[in-house]
């Protein structure tokens, strides 16, 4: 791997750096990052102990998967109190210390808000289910049985079975898009709406910089509770067109209200997890804008095979879907999908992962990293008796759940990978003996250092943060090549997805007539300067060149 001092770079004199737009965001799954008190579960003090590591990596913000009190039916995505910290992670005071420590290092903090549903142990639901005439009677989605005594309509749960659960105390059903222990709240109730919007204020007052909104476009359901039309699909959930239980028009006024609250604080941010949608890119884009969300996730990369053409089509479709006031995000990994290292890498070879990293960190948009991505963590193999994820238990052996991508962070070669002194809540990948942070920090050719150099390159080259995206190969088979360009700087990114050496043919005065200087390469002997009409790319090479106008 070759990193070159950026003689083609320039100082960003206008100081126009906006953390959520131009920075790199790092997702932490708190249960699996660092355990500071030897109970086998990661915690806030553990995260605090690794802030120097995160600062050294160069990231600009951390996104914490839910840390609110929860009975953990869905590992934190079933919240029983929005205004406190789960004791297994720490205290509200320790969270405040974490925020302050992050800010001292120039790191922003994003919280994961799960506002579509609560835990069935939340005091709101405990009261709501107790009778039909309590003060919180309509804080959730209650309906009488159908004439035959069954569920009110045909809506399904994404985690299996009917979306309706009968409650004998009320003689009614309540709706749950996910587990039955996660009842959906009634956003149409003004009191519910006020309580949940105030959650943003509560945490913003405590210095939280941004919010990731879990399945945000599921907040509202059809007011008439009409059946979803049928379609072909494997699971019952997939055999419906989800037009009445998601993406309702009432979402837009709510987003305007939430955005108004966020805009009353300096540089606050909201990014939404887009749920369902026939065309996820267009669905996500429709919720972004000046009076909507700052950004929304499009997960197309997590579905792409190792194919340059597939990635380019996903990029172009995303770019074409976004309006002028919307900003893209890109993600290869998160807590719900198989790790990109397990999807793309062959054995322990990281060359493909360097290509993927170079793509992710040089596109126009905000890149999101997932803990351990920077060292190429692979999914763990989980036997039936080891499954923790309830959805894996339900669908085994057709789907083994999401435990594979949630294994403890691999800090060193010690027992339990330096994650904990106790047995971890989820087993550690056996490859931690050779694949860990400590060993990769000591190897300048490692994937870790390549990520670190890429992140620094984004800071050094304004074109990588705010430049236009211009593809050079329009129907690629093996090479993805593009320019990122501002008025004063152009960056050329060349990515070889093939195991063979291949030429990238260059043409046009904008390219061949420029004094290109190498900024970064995954190849040890990459050309320091680029001239002529041909760039030979080694197998799985990622090289980046820059020039000032």
DSSP 474: S
Based on the residue annotation, tell me whether 273 is a catalytic residue of this protein: yes
| Catalytic one of 60, 86, 214, 389 | 214
Secondary element (H or E) of residue 192: helix 190-204
Cβ–Cβ under 8 Å, residues 284 and 315: no
CA 331 to chain centre: 6
Ramachandran angles phi, psi of 147, nearest 5°:
-50, -30
Ramachandran angles phi, psi of 417, nearest 5°:
60, 20
Report the relative pairing of strands 2-3 and 516-521 from DSSP bridges: antiparallel
Cβ–Cβ under 8 Å, residues 4 and 448: no
Based on the residue annotation, tell me whether 214 is a catalytic residue of this protein: yes
Report d(CA 29, CA 84) in Å as an integer: 18
DSSP 170: T
DSSP 429: P
Ramachandran angles phi, psi of 46, nearest 5°:
-65, -45
Report the relative pairing of strands 502-505 and 534-537 from DSSP bridges: antiparallel
Reduced to 3 DSSP states, what percent helix, strand and coil does the chain have, rounded to the nearest 5? Answer: 30, 20, 50
> What is the CB neighbour count within 10 angstroms for residue 273?
20
Ramachandran angles phi, psi of 252, nearest 5°:
-65, -50
Report d(CA 543, CA 500) in Å as an integer: 15
| Catalytic one of 273, 350, 460, 541 | 273
Work out the widest C-alpha separation in the chain, in whole angstroms: 79
Helix or strand or coil: residue 312? Answer: helix
Helices H, strands E: what count in the chain?
Answer: 16, 20
Report d(CA 391, CA 380) in Å as an integer: 17
Residues known to be catalytic:
214, 273
């Amino acid at each position: 791997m070759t990193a070159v001092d950026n003689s083609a770079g320039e100082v960003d004199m206008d100081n126009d750096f906006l953390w959520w737009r131009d920075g790199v965001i790092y997702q932490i799954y708190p249960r699996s990052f660092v355990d500071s008190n030897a109970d086998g579960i990661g915690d806030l003090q553990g995260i605090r102990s690794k802030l120097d590591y995160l600062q050294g990596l160069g990231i600009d913000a951390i996104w914490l998967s839910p840390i609110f009190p929860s009975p953990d039916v869905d590992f934190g995505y079933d919240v029983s109190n929005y205004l406190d910290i789960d004791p297994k992670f720490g205290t509200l005071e320790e969270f405040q210390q974490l925020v302050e420590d992050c800010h001292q290092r120039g790191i922003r903090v994003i919280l994961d808000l799960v506002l579509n549903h609560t835990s069935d142990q939340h005091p709101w639901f405990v009261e709501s289910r107790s009778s039909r005439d309590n003060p919180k009677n309509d804080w959730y989605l209650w309906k009488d049985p159908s004439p035959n005594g069954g569920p009110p309509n045909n809506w399904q749960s994404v985690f299996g079975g009917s979306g309706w659960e009968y409650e004998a105390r009320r003689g009614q059903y309540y709706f749950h898009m996910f587990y039955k222990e996660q009842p959906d709240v009634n956003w149409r109730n003004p009191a519910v709406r006020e309580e949940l919007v105030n959650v943003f204020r509560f945490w913003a007052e405590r210095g939280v910089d941004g919010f990731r909104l879990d399945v945000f476009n599921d907040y509202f359901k059809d007011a008439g509770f009409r059946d979803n039309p049928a379609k072909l699909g494997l699971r019952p959930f997939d055999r419906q067109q989800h037009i009445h239980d998601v993406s309702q028009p009432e979402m837009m006024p709510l987003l305007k209200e939430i955005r108004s609250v966020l805009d009353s604080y300096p540089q606050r941010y909201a990014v939404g997890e887009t749920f369902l949608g026939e065309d996820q890119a267009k669905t996500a884009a429709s919720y972004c804008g000046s009076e909507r969300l700052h950004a929304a996730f499009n997960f197309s990369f997590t579905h792409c095979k190792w194919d340059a053409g597939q990635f380019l089509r996903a990029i172009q479709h995303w770019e074409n879907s976004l309006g002028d006031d919307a900003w893209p995000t890109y993600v290869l990994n998160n807590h719900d999908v198989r790790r990109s290292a397990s999807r793309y890498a062959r054995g322990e070879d990281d060359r493909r992962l360097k290509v993927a990293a170079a793509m992710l960190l040089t596109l126009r948009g905000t890149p999101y990293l997932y803990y351990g991505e920077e060292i190429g963590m692979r999914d763990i193999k989980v036997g039936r008796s080891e499954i923790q994820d309830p959805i894996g238990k339900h669908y085994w052996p057709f789907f083994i759940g999401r435990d594979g991508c949630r294994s403890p962070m691999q800090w060193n070669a010690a027992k339990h990978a330096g994650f904990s002194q106790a047995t971890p809540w989820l087993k550690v990948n056996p490859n931690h003996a050779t694949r860990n942070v400590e060993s990769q920090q000591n190897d300048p050719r490692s994937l870790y250092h390549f990520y670190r150099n890429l992140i620094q390159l984004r800071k050094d080259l304004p074109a990588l943060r705010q430049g236009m995206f211009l593809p050079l190969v329009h129907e690629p088979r093996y090479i993805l090549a593009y320019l990122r360009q501002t008025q004063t700087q152009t960056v050329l990114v060349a990515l070889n997805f093939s195991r063979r050496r291949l030429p990238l043919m260059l043409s046009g005065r904008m390219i061949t007539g420029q004094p290109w200087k190498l900024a970064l390469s995954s190849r040890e002997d990459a050309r320091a300067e680029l001239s002529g009409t041909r760039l030979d790319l080694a197998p799985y090479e990622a090289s980046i060149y820059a020039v000032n106008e």
